[in-house]
Structure 1
């Protein structure tokens, strides 16, 4: 076994999921990531925890989506498992990144609605989402397998204490703020209130790799237009040049140059999918290339991302409404040129450089 796999498992167990003696831990991973699953079982055993292994398979999920004629139902046995567990570790890795490309977007939306109660329960526990450097994921990123392995394990093995300190400077700015404005080029100019909401510092806990700060907009405060100029890869299809117009917080119009029908399925999931649930700011300089993997791409320095759909409850203040949805879809804006982030009228980032960095 590559020693970096065991290092990856140790970081998850100690830093991300905080696995303790007696914990009931669910590990969900595809067959291609079996070595990481084995290393995670070793780590759980060393700490006196009790792991259960779920073999996730995009091909098996496709079989359900393509063949079920009745309405989808919430799987009670899965919900019961999540209710009983203490921690959940999800590993991604693809042999075929386009496995579900022939599934109707409306079917995907219906399936996600059925799974929402289980997802809500899962997110209420300690959890970590990470990536195994599988060959299909490398191919999607346009990299060799060896190159992708180096990319993933370098991103996972950062000095997370130092990353936390770096990102805390942006958390301090946003935590005291009322309004954020994002401007980029001629097509992105959007404002939103974050008053009363909290900003979280993602330094490799729930997401590994981490490398962003994020909060939730006040639900009906978002106004303006956004050109998400970096592609989105979803359901095995690439969505390009997404443009969205918000009024009173709600998505009132949208378009995409390619695979717009996938967006149709997203926005038709439920009413909450028409509102922003998250504003995130990428701050991980170690992630320096786009790989069609949102777990990495949204963390890149020089980017912001906005997610339509479910908000994280930890971000939403008591006096504000939590946006609820069965979906959560991140989309990215490149902020490296002709771009600013303003907080309460003050520029805090210009062309990807933050006000607290030396070359601002």
Structure 2
């Protein structure tokens, strides 16, 4: 086994989920990630934890959802799966299948209906100790435009690093956001967005729920977002590439939208439920070991010199007691490149310009 896989597993068990004796552990990943599942089972055995490996198949999910698409898109919450999750202490989930676009021909309205039905299961999982990570597969290497070997190196360089040092670097931005009432994002001529963060909490993401980590994120006050944003980096969503997204916000809500490619998929996301037209997250990418765009949001949203915003659900830990938690079955991140002709303002003061933070050498 590649020793980098063992190191990855140790980070997931120790740093990310703090796996311990007696924990009921769900290891959910595709057959392509068997080596990582094996390493995690070895660690669970050493700790006295109780692991179960749930394999998943995008082909199977596609077959199920396409079959139900002919049945008015009616899905029921799987109570047996919910019960299983209720008895689980730790979830470790790894992306990485044989075909990154396997579900690309599932109708957007079907995907949205399925996510609504699964929302109680998702909420239960999010209440536990959990981590989402990536196993490098040829499919994702191809999506990133890399060789398999280069992609393996890219993934493990982003994962197997000094997370204490990353935490310290990001803590400066956490303090800035927590001290601010209003954040403004400006990029080029098409993005000028303001939002209140008053009373909400900035989180220093150093790998507890995502691996790789490397961002500072918070939630905007639900009805405070105003202005327009152009997401100049594409995203893959259920096998479809959505490009050139433009959103216009009034009183926190997306009132108009467009996309240069797969606008129907974007519309399906925004029409999932009432909460899917509000922002649930503002994130600031700070992991400079992620220096290439790979069409994988788990990595791309952490890139240095970027910000991302997610329509849909907010993480409750980021929302203050006096503010409303936006709830939705969706949480879809989209990215703005902040490396040129861009700035972040906190209460009118520029705290990042063209990718450089105010606390870094070279800030102007």
TM-score after normalising by structure 2: 0.98
Q: 2:261 aligns with which of 251, 258, 261?
A: 258
- Residue of structure 2 equivalent to 1:239: 242
- Residue of structure 2 equivalent to 1:227: 230
- Residue of structure 2 equivalent to 1:58: 58
Give yes or no for the alignment of 1:88 onto 2:98.
no
Task: Give the total of aligned pairs.
Answer: 360
Deviation, 1:94, is: 2.3
Q: Partner of 2:19: helix, strand, or coil?
A: coil
Q: 1:291 aligns with which of 270, 289, 294?
A: 294
Q: Partner of 2:192: helix, strand, or coil?
A: strand
Q: Deviations over 1:73-132 (max 9, x none)?
A: 101111011111111110100211110011000000000000000000100111000000
In 1, Cα distance between equivalents of 2:170 and 2:215:
7
- Residue of structure 1 equivalent to 2:144: 141
Q: 1:155 aligns with which of 155, 158, 167?
A: 158
Deviation, 1:52, is: 1.2
Q: Deviations over 1:192-236 (max 9, x none)?
A: 000000000001220000000000000000000000000011111
Q: Unpaired segments of 5 or more residues in structure 1? A: none
- How does 1:13-32 map onto structure 2 within 5 Å? 13-32=13-32
Give yes or no for the alignment of 1:189 onto 2:172.
no
TM-score after normalising by structure 1: 0.99
Q: Partner of 1:116: helix, strand, or coil?
A: helix
- Residue of structure 2 equivalent to 1:272: 275
Deviation, 1:46, is: 1.0
Give yes or no for the alignment of 1:308 onto 2:311.
yes
In 2, Cα distance between equivalents of 1:159 and 1:61:
36
- Residue of structure 2 equivalent to 1:122: 125
- How does 1:336-351 map onto structure 2 within 5 Å? 336-351=339-354
- Residue of structure 2 equivalent to 1:79: 82
Large movers: runs of 4+ above 4 Å: none
In 2, Cα distance between equivalents of 1:193 and 1:48:
46
Q: Deviations over 1:41-61 (max 9, x none)?
A: 111111111011110111111
- Residue of structure 1 equivalent to 2:12: 12
Q: Deviations over 1:121-180 (max 9, x none)?
A: 100111000000011000000000000000000100110000000000000111111000
Q: Partner of 1:196: helix, strand, or coil?
A: coil
Q: Partner of 1:133: helix, strand, or coil?
A: coil
Q: Deviations over 1:296-322 (max 9, x none)?
A: 000000000000000000000000000
Give the CA RMSD over aligned residues: 0.6
* 8 Å contact kept, 2:57–2:97: no
Q: Unpaired segments of 5 or more residues in structure 2? A: none
- Residue of structure 1 equivalent to 2:332: 329
